[in-house]
Amino acid sequence: MALTIFRGIRTCPLMLCPSAYFARKHGVFYCTMKSTDSQTATQERQQSAQLKGSPKIQSKTIDKLLKDYEAIIGIETHVQLNTLTKAFCSCPYSYGAQPNTSICPVCMGLPGALPVLNSKVVEFAVKVGLALNCKLSLDSKFDRKQYFYPDLPKGYQISQFDIPIASGGFVDVDLPVEFGGGHRRFGITRVHMEEDAGKLLHTGNRSYSQVDLNRAGVPLLEIVSEPDMRTGIEAAEYAAELQRLVRYLGVSNGNMQEGSLRCDVNISIRPIGQQKFGTKVEIKNLNSFSSVGRAIDFEISRQVLLHSQGQDDQIVQETRLWDEGAQKTITMRKKEGLSDYRYFPEPDLPGVSISKEYVDRIRDSLPELPEMKRRRYEEMGLSMQDILFLTNDVNVTEFFDATISGGADIKLAANWIMGDIAAYMKNEKLTINEIKLTPQELVELIASIKNGTISGKIGKEVLFELMAKGGTVKGMVKEKNLVQIVDPVEIEKMVDKVIADNPKQLEQYRSGKTKIQGFFAGQVMKESKGKANPKLLNQILLKKLNAKN
């Protein structure tokens, strides 16, 4: 739309808050963090576990106080759907594209342009609704949510108001072992479809702002939880489970840094035993699971402290921002009474009617979801720690499933994946799909070690080779002549040679310094280029070393 020039919006007092965050009526301008590696929830968890060990805000007195209070936490999550085109027009969306390069009259809100629903949005919403055990509305509709903001081209957001596509569900979560573990079920109030807004770009000197409408009209699902969570880790795990869910379903990349998954937390506290809820505070700008957990823990402490000091009138209904640098929440804006969005049915779109057959067809096509996987792995005898690691990443769990269905030993497969493979992925900053190793070759590798074709040590070398360059175990063993030496005569020859080459050490050994047996074993292994069967090697070596005594 070369015809339309995007103007600067001259603003000065637009900046309502001290930081670079942009206040707006219903949300936050999400800043992108410059983090290249996408952390998994587990990795984040480990970080947050460390952070908990060095608390800045929690003193012993607060810890004591916290025991008398209970926090009530609910989360609103926005999930960006990875449909090929936007919700109501045929523009594609790709994160990070040049501003205003993926726009059309519809998503720009030009006069006369009309929205047409992308049916994939409904399909994805139904998938998520089913995965969250919701009741689906076979006849739902879109409504207009009206407010003015420069990133909202039409002056209203197409959303769903009184009849969301899905409602009344739940999600099951297994808490990490390092946080005491345990199974939780959190209620889901509703799931509805809506469109994303554009983004504002602010110039350095803040004299004007520019509008980027690439993101305008990108489909979102808003998932609202029941206020069922009580702690930061429960909330972080809830959010992580939603991420796993949308990734398992393939409906979103769930990337928090890019804003594909955004969490707004509502939190209040009350003394244990009290029925009445406390004043609710909303927290925004949570860019990772660990910040969800930490922001909540901070906010609970802040509210408990105020309450216990008789200053509960200072807990007011407001929106607070999580300041990652300062590790605390700060006031963004106080509520000036309820905003009136003047919802009414969207007249440009017909109602959304789905048939029972359509829903059943989608239900039948759902993949195995994280909770089902965890229960299945549990039955297979894996520990919860292993289960949580393996099921955290949909690609890892698929790799693992492919490995064990290829006949690999369950425990061995898990250990290889969680050990050397995970370490390699972390070092090389690769995903399991990016490494060259295939599940079939991992099966082969495990079998080759088990049946003695190659030694465990060689196995590791082969593994790294396979991860880096690909190929097959058989090919590599053949090509590099890596078959384990199990012939005692051959090993004996090498032992003899090593003993003959090291008379000094032999003397030391025989004079009682038997510890240096390890030296001899190492030399023989080196002589065999790592191929000697270690058990056989040690047997023969010991026999030889002790022979003349």
Partner 1 sequence: MRFELGVISSVQNSSLLRLPNFRQISIKRLHACAAPAPLELSCLSNSQILTIRKSLLSRETTAVDLAKSFLSRLRRTESHLKSFLYVSPEEDVLKQAKEIDRKIQNNEVLGPLAGVLVGVKDNICTSDMPSTAGSKILENYRPPFDATAVKKLKENGAIIVGKTNLDEFGMGSTTEGSSYQVTANPWDLSRVPGGSSGGSAAAVSARQCVVSIGSDTGGSVRQPASFCGVVGLKPTYGRVSRYGLVAYASSLDVIGCFGSSVADAGILLEAISGHDKFDATSSKRETPDFADQFVAKDCLRSQPLKGVRVGVIRETLGDGVDTEVISSIQSAVAHLDDLGCAVTEVSFPSFSLGLPAYYILASSESSSNLSRYDGVRYGNQVFADELSSLYGDSRAKGFGSEVKLRILMGTYALSAGYYDAYYKRAQQVRTLVQESFKAALEENDILISPAAPSVAYKIGEKKNDPLAMYAGDIMTVNVNLAGLPALVLPCGFVKEGSSHLPVGLQMIGAAFNEERLLKIGHIFEQTLQGCSFVPPLVAGEF
State which residue, 111 or 204, has the beta carbon closest to partner 1.
111
- Residue 113 makes contact with partner 1 by CB under 8 A: yes
What is the distance between the alpha carbons of residues 2 and 30, in angstroms, rounded to a whole number? Answer: 27
Nearer Cβ to partner 1 (144/373):
144
Q: Which is nearer to partner 1, 91 or 134 (CB)?
A: 91
- Min dist. Cβ of residue 419 to partner 1 (A): 54
Minimum distance between the CB of residue 92 and partner 1, rounded to whole angstroms? 17
Stretch that binds partner 1, among 45-53, 112-120, 316-324, 456-464 (CB under 8 A): 112-120
Q: How far apart are CA 283 and CA 332, in angstroms?
A: 9
Site for partner 1 in 202-241 (CB under 8 A): 211
Helix (H) or strand (E) holding 378: helix 370-379
Helix (H, G, I), strand (E, B) or coil at 183: strand
Asked if residue 477 lies in contact with residue 451, where contact means CB atoms within 8 angstroms, the answer is no
Distance of CA 464 to the CA centre of its chain: 26
Distance between CA atoms of residues 192 and 224, nearest Å: 9
Q: Which long-range contacts (CB under 8 A, 24 or more apart) does 424-432 make?
A: 424/464, 424/467, 429/36, 429/37, 431/393, 431/395, 432/393, 432/395, 432/396, 432/399
191 vs 214: CA distance, rounded Å: 24
**Residue of the chain from 20, 57, 97, 116 that contacts partner 1 (CB under 8 A):** 116
Residue 220 CA, chain-centre distance (Å), reads: 18
Select from 257, 255, 282, 288 the least CA-distant residue to 267.
Answer: 282
Structure-token pair, residue 82: 């990875």
| Shortest Å, Cβ 359 to partner 1 | 22
Q: Which residue of 53, 96, 112, 503 would you call a contact of partner 1, by CB under 8 A?
A: 112
Length of the chain: 549
**In the complex with partner 1, which residue's Cβ is closer, 127 or 154?**
154
Applying CB under 8 A, does 489 fall inside the site for partner 1?
Answer: no
The nearer residue to partner 1, 153 or 293, going by C-beta atoms, is 153
List the one residue from 344, 380, 405, 507 that touches partner 1 (CB under 8 A).
344
Distance of CA 490 to the CA centre of its chain: 52
Task: Indicate the residue among 113 and 410 with the shorter CB distance to partner 1.
Answer: 113
Angle, alpha carbons 93-221-102 (nearest 5°): 15
Binds partner 1 (CB under 8 A): choice among 45, 127, 141, 144: 144
If binding means CB under 8 A, how many residues of this protein chain bind partner 1? 41
Q: Return the bridge partners of 284, or none.
A: 321
Q: Does 111 bind partner 1 (CB under 8 A)?
A: yes
Q: Is residue 115 part of the contact set for partner 1 (CB under 8 A)?
A: yes
Verify binding: residue 351, partner 1, rule CB under 8 A.
Answer: no
Contact pick of 86, 127, 154, 320 for partner 1 (by CB under 8 A): 154
Q: Segment contacting partner 1 (CB under 8 A): 119-127, 252-260, 287-295, 343-351?
A: 343-351
Least distance from partner 1 to the Cβ atom of residue 231, Å = 35
Instruction: Output the smallest distance, CB 14 to partner 1, in A.
Output: 6
Closest CA to 285 of 274, 272, 273, 299: 299
Give the interface segment with partner 1, choosing from 27-35, 342-350, 395-403, 417-425 (CB under 8 A): 342-350
Q: Where would I find the beta strands (DSSP E) of 90-182?
A: 135-136, 139-140, 143-146, 156-159, 166-174
* CB nearer to partner 1: pick between 6 and 95: 6
348 contributes a contact to partner 1 by CB under 8 A: yes
Residue 237 exposed, middle or buried by CB count within 10 Å (0-12, 13-18, 19+): buried
| Interatomic CA distance for residues 521 and 539, integer angstroms | 10
Binding status of residue 23 toward partner 1 by CB under 8 A: no
Query: Using CB under 8 A, which of the segments 249-257, 312-320, 341-349, 496-504 binds partner 1?
Result: 341-349
Structure tokens that stand for 418 in this block = 């969680």
Stretch that binds partner 1, among 54-62, 102-110, 291-299, 473-481 (CB under 8 A): 102-110
Using the rule CB under 8 A, give the single segment among 64-72, 110-118, 389-397, 535-543 that binds partner 1.
Answer: 110-118
What would the two tokens of residue 446 be?
A: 């495990």
Q: Residues 281 to 340: which contact partner 1 by CB under 8 A?
A: 338, 340
- Specify the residue, 349 or 418, whose C-beta has the smaller distance to partner 1: 349
- Which residues bind to partner 1, rule: CB under 8 A? 1-4, 6-7, 9-14, 105, 108-117, 144, 146, 148, 150, 153-156, 211, 338, 340, 342-344, 347-350
